[in-house]
Structure 1
Amino acid sequence: MSEIEPPTAVARHPVQLQPMQVPKASDVLANDLRERILRGEFPPGTALPPERELVNQTRMGRTTVREALRILEVQGLVSIKTGRAGGAFVQQPDGDAVASSVSLLIRGQQLRLTDLLETRETIEPACARLAAKYRTDEDLEALEAANSVIGDPDSTLDDFLRANVDWHLAVARAGHNELLTGFMTALSKAIYASTDNTAFVDDEVRKTTYIAHKSITAAIRAKDAAAAMRRMSKHVHSYAEAVVQVEERTEIDLAKD
């Protein structure tokens, strides 16, 4: 008989486990409520259960419940009111929620001015096209009101800049697309905050801006989508080129100093 060989010894290695990310209880509760709101289980205006009742239902601590509601408030899904008739009330997310998120992205990533200008050149002509298709009489009034300030030679620089932003946002709102309006709100404010407006805006820029806006507004009024898109594309491209030239010139002057 042949001898039976003993089993080969198996080398033993310690088991390696990866760290596990355990979600916070407040995130879990906020995620559950968010999904139910977005699915329409809680229509806008619905009052969520009082804080004490949420604590009893979820068996989570009061601090956890408050933090979850705060998350939803920041995301624009609930409005929290204080007082005897207060509480957390469901609301629909709108363009302001989009603008807030985009603003955080722009500031958090510290995006370059050229990135913002390129994004604007891509988006805003589409906004003008939609404005020409869907504008109302109220939209036209908003465009004309903003442009009247832009064309006023006695308006201050702050008045001009504020009216300029108002006009561009009025174009976006005239398209009645909440997503684009949110993008343009964040984008316009970031661009003007990043631009050396004192060095850039002079009488010639004001005049050119006023003429361009009047031309685009006329196309929107006439519901000429192609012309509105073409004129807006030319306007924002010319603006981007001028801003970049000023920024480069400023950097050179600073380097000389």
Structure 2
Amino acid sequence: MDRPAQPFASVRPRRAVDAIIEQIRDRIQSNELKPGQKLPSERDLAEQLSVSRNTVREAIRMLEVSGLVTLKKGATGGAFLTNSNSAALSQNLIDGIALRQYNVKELIDVRMVLEQYIAAQACENASDEQIEELAALAQASRQAEDDVPEYEQRLDLHIEFHRKLSEMSHNGVAETLTGPLLEITRHFHLETGPTGGPETHETRQELVQALRERNPEAAKLALAKHFAALQSRLLVSHPD
């Protein structure tokens, strides 16, 4: 079982749950605890922290809600640090949109700024092989319009194109932020149904060509055209 090098420090019962969460967060930020690592058992943590197992259980439950910890059952189960907070962040944003804390225009505006930055970085950092892989995804997405009747499968190809583009920036923060935004975009498209047009594939070809030429301004222009069309389509179904 993976355990931190040093025992956890005992805490005051009055704020024990908060103190436990703070210690675990601190160790994540310092990389002492890493994604996928299993935390000590409830009993071990309770002994190290000088608190009850119920207190430990409550702290772990709150960490699970926040998306930092995943609970697994069985003999090899326990509390594991998640590999990514994207799913939890995506759900929080989707819930916020449902409560009208955000709207479609705000989503598209943020995506455009972020992905234009990503495209510019990809012009500098992506390998030729990665660019050709993106080109293949664009071609597969275009072909799927004729060959794949299931809309969700075609949508997944659209989303994968943008995920791949984010990887090509070689910027981990930008890639992490892109994931939840794409999940929300997918959520909207599943609600509205097919709304794409030929301009989607045309602007992707322009983007791929700009990447091949290592031309960041042309890449940003292609994305601006794409997002302008996307925003006009989504606003029809989500005017608020």
Partners of 1:243 and 1:48 lie apart in 2 by 43
Deviations 1:193-214 (A, max 9, x none): 224543623xxx0x22112112
- Alignment check: 8 A CA contact 1:103 1:187 kept: no
1:237–1:45 Cα change, 3 Å: closer
Which segments of 5 or more consecutive residues in structure 1 lack a partner in the other structure?
1-21, 252-257
Which segments of 5 or more consecutive residues in structure 2 lack a partner in the other structure?
1-12
Partners of 1:23 and 1:233 lie apart in 2 by 53
Secondary structure of the structure 1 residue equivalent to 2:40? coil
Deviation at 1:167, TM superposition (A): 0.8
Partners of 1:221 and 1:64 lie apart in 2 by 56
Kindly tell me the number of residue pairs found equivalent between the two proteins. 221
Question: How is 1:1-257 mapped onto 2 (pairs within 5 angstroms)?
Answer: 25-42=16-33, 47-75=38-66, 77-78=68-69, 80-89=71-80, 94=84, 97-98=85-86, 100-108=88-96, 109-110=99-100, 111-137=102-128, 139-152=130-143, 153-156=146-149, 157-195=151-189, 197-198=192-193, 200-201=195-196, 205=197, 207-244=198-235, 246-247=236-237
Secondary structure of the structure 2 residue equivalent to 1:200? coil
Partners of 2:94 and 2:111 lie apart in 1 by 13
1:168–1:45 Cα change, 3 Å: closer
1:70–1:176 Cα change, 3 Å: farther
Deviation at 1:78, TM superposition (A): 4.7
Secondary structure of the structure 1 residue equivalent to 2:147? coil
Give the partner amino acid of 1:238: A
Q: Which residue of 1 aligns with 2:5?
A: none
1:25–1:210 Cα change, 3 Å: same
1:33–1:228 Cα change, 3 Å: same
Secondary structure of the structure 2 residue equivalent to 1:49? coil
- Please give the root-mean-square deviation of Cα atoms over the aligned residues, in Å: 3.1
Give the partner amino acid of 1:154: D
Partners of 2:19 and 2:26 lie apart in 1 by 11
Q: Percent identity of the aligned residues?
A: 28
Which TM-score applies when normalising by structure 1?
Answer: 0.71
Deviation at 1:243, TM superposition (A): 3.2
